[in-house]
């Protein structure tokens, strides 16, 4: 799935923080991230949060599955 401009900007910002040594795990008081893979994981997680929410009214209703009949073992 293609990223939105907002998500691309967020990933770029996080990777820049990592390159300059300003990216921390969790909060600012946490240890500095040294691994590139961990920085990418944080960037993707934050980009996911920047994703626009889907409008519930615009989605089509899903068909409900048919009810299954219980077994008639005791009869």
Query: Residue with structure tokens 């401009």?
Result: 5
Q: Do residues 15 and 43 touch, judged by C-beta distance below 8 A?
A: yes
Tokens (6 digits) for 42? 């944080």
Per residue in 17-65, pLDDT tens?
Answer: 999 999 998 888 889 999 999 999 999 988 887 766 666 666 666 777 7
pLDDT of residue 5: 87
21 φ/ψ sector (left φ>0, alpha ψ -120 to 50, else beta):
left
Question: Where along the chain do its domains lie?
Answer: 5-53
Cβ distance 15 to 33 under 8 Å? no
On the question of pLDDT at 73 being above 80, the answer is no
The answer, yes or no, to whether residue 67 has pLDDT greater than 80, is no
As a whole number of angstroms, the distance between CA 62 and CA 46 comes to: 30
């Amino acid at each position: 799935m293609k990223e939105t401009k907002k998500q691309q900007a967020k990933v770029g910002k996080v990777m820049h923080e990592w390159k300059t040594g300003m990216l921390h795990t969790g909060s600012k008081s946490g240890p500095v991230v040294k691994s590139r893979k961990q920085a990418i994981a944080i960037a993707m997680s934050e980009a996911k949060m920047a994703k626009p929410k889907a409008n519930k009214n615009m989605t089509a209703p899903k068909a409900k599955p048919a009810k299954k009949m219980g077994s008639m073992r005791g009869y």
